């Protein structure tokens, strides 16, 4: 065991940027997830996600907004979150990150699940009621079924 940070072990910003390009290509192509990102520049989002994870992995500091504040007006169910998680795991794997490091990456990412997801739509209505930032609630599209962008039933 060395004292190397996860950031250094995976190959630093270069690998983070590589994974996040693959990841957001999938998100921006996905019939459900892409709707949350409508109007948001993909490259800018990739850069912020890279900066965020860099800090959490022991690399340079994240200067963006706090996560709860960014996502507070979005209805993100557990199912949607798991779908994102599935695409992230695929992307990390496709970018060539070794399995043991991929596991550590996903563990860090998952530590933010509770800050982002809402237990139920009732909770979301109760907890979020600011009139100046509209709620974003996007229903799961029908027939999202048997293609590459859907999520396997086993991960639900």
Please give the residue ranges that form the binding site for ligand HEM (CB under 6 A): 36-37, 40, 45, 48-49, 52, 64-65, 67, 70-71, 74, 76, 80-81, 84, 109, 112, 116
Residues 6+ apart with CB under 8 A from 15: 95, 97
Nearer to ligand HEM, 17 or 45 (CB): 45
Question: Residue 101 burial (CB < 10 Å; 0-12/13-18/19+)?
Answer: middle
By beta-carbon proximity to ligand HEM, the closer residue of 1 and 42 is 42
- Least distance (Å) between residue 116 CB and ligand HEM: 5
In the complex with ligand HEM, the residue whose CB is nearer, 40 or 126, is 40
Q: Which residue is nearest to ligand HEM (CB)?
A: 64
The whole-angstrom separation of Cα 35 and Cα 115 is: 20
Q: Which two tokens stand for residue 37?
A: 């990102």
Q: Least distance in Å: CB of 2 to ligand HEM?
A: 25
145: which DSSP letter?
Answer: -
Nearest approach, Cβ of 53 to ligand HEM (angstroms)?
7
7/52 with CB nearer ligand HEM: 52
* Residue 114 per-residue DSSP state: H
Q: Are 13 and 50 in contact (CB under 8 A)?
A: yes
């Amino acid at each position: 065991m060395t004292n190397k940070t996860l950031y250094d072990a995976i190959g630093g910003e270069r690998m983070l940027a590589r994974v996040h390009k693959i990841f957001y290509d999938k998100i921006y192509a996905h019939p459900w997830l892409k709707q949350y990102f409508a109007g948001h520049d993909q490259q800018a989002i990739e850069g912020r996600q890279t900066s965020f994870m860099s800090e959490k992995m022991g690399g340079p500091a994240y200067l963006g907004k706090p996560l709860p504040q960014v996502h507070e007006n979005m209805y993100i169910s557990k199912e949607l979150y798991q779908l994102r998680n599935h695409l992230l795991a695929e992307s990390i794997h496709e970018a060539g990150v070794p399995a043991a490091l991929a596991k550590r990456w996903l563990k860090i990412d998952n530590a933010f699940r509770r800050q982002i997801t809402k237990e139920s739509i009732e909770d979301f209505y109760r907890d979020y009621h600011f009139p100046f930032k509209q709620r974003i609630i996007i229903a799961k599209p029908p027939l999202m079924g048997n293609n590459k962008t859907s999520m396997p039933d086993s991960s639900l």
